[in-house]
Amino acid sequence: MNQNDLPERWKNKIKEYLKEKGSRYETISASDFQIDESVEIKFEDGSFASFKYPLIIEAPEFQEVGVMTEHCGYFIIHSEAIQFKLIKH
C-alpha cells in the first residue's frame, strides 16, 4: 500500500501527525523516515517482521499502528495483536 491507497482516517492522521511535527507538508516525504532506526514487529501467532528506516505512527483511537516505509510500502496493523520495538543504529 502507498499513500494514495490509505483509508481516509489514515490520510487525516498523517496530516495531523506532520502538522504536530511542524511540517508544512500534508503527506510523508523521504525526510520523514528514520535513517538511524529499524522496527521489529512480533505478531500474536509468533510471526514477525522487521523494517529499516520506518516512520511509526501510533493511533490508539483506531487501535492501530501505522508502519510506513519508503521502499516497502505502508502497513496498518491492529495494535492489540502486536508488540513492536524501535532499534537505534
**Mean pLDDT score, 72-76:** 96
pLDDT tens digits, residue range 1-51?
988 999 999 999 999 999 999 999 999 999 999 899 999 999 999 999 999
**Mean pLDDT score, 58-76:** 96
**Residue 23: predicted pLDDT:** 92
Whether the Cβ atoms of residue 54 and residue 17 lie closer than 8 Å to each other = no
Enumerate the domain spans of the chain.
3-88
**Residue 34: predicted pLDDT:** 87
Whether the Cβ atoms of residue 82 and residue 61 lie closer than 8 Å to each other = no
Is residue 45 helix, strand or coil?
Answer: coil
